[in-house]
Amino acid sequence: MKINALIIMLLLISNSAMAQSTTTETTTPAAANDSLLKDFDSLSGNDVLMDRGNVLSPEIKTQIVQNRIVKRIKRFEFNPQYSNVFGGNPYVNTNMLGLATQFHFNYRWSLGLRYDYAFNELNNEGKTMAKQRIPVRDSTGTIVGFEPTIPAVDFIKQSYMATVNWYPIYGKFSLYDMGVVHFDAYALAGGGQVELASGNSDALTAGAGMAFWFSQHLTSRIEVRWMGYEAQPYVGKNEDVDLTMGTLSLGYLL
């Protein structure tokens, strides 16, 4: 009887140990997974995880990007800019050089002013038309000479615009492992005036772009916007003009 009792006791102890081992084996991976998920949830700001990753894969350069680095609260930004103009008058090619300034109230909103000076030249279609000659007749209908054909052009000379800019999307990327570039995607809307060959005209504009922040001071922008106004290619005849402008700028934050 004593031997049987001893055997039963040993069996119970063995079963208990096996149960504990099974419990440990099933719960330990789950706990490890929970810890791992927490690490991944805080990947962008976990220096310890970055160090572990560098040790495990030393051939891969690991970078951590977390908060905004470039402060844009109550700061001015100045941008010399170049714009290529699409659309508008079919006989003229237009490019513009200008200067824009932004006052950043915060990371979401800024108020801008911009001035652009236009450079115009006849395109191939306009030059072909200008080479054509039309007869000039006197009061009796006799041809007394010829004069060049003048394309109907009311080209833009310069523009003055005020804009409101909204920055809803923020991101970062690594630039050839040289550093991290911060950027904002933004939308803009505004109005102002354009000076045309026929005089001044009210104008509206709207568009979108990407603003890049390379450092606390160096910036750049890529932008596409629409601008609409009323021109007068013929005396006494007004027509609506729609321009699409692609703009590239480099800037400085004060």
The residues spanned by each domain of the chain are 2-56, 75-253
For residues 138 and 191, what is the distance between their CA atoms, to the nearest angstrom?
48
What is the per-residue pLDDT across 210-248, written as a single tens digit (0 to 9) for each? 999 988 899 999 999 999 999 887 666 788 889 999 999
CB 174 within 8 A of CB 193: no
Sign of the CA dihedral running 246, 248, 253, 254: negative
Please check whether the domain covering 75-253 is classified as CATH 2.40.160.20.
yes
Q: What is the mean pLDDT of the chain?
A: 76
Amino acid at site 168: P
**95 touches 84 (CB < 8 A):** yes
Q: Note the pTM of the prediction, 2 decimals.
A: 0.66
pLDDT tens, residue by residue, 2-24: 444 444 554 444 554 444 444 44
Residue 154 has a pLDDT of: 82
Tell me how far apart the alpha carbons of residues 181 and 212 are, in angstroms, rounded to a whole number.
Answer: 7
Provide the pLDDT for residue 89: 75
Q: In this structure, what token pair is assigned to residue 234?
A: 């013929």
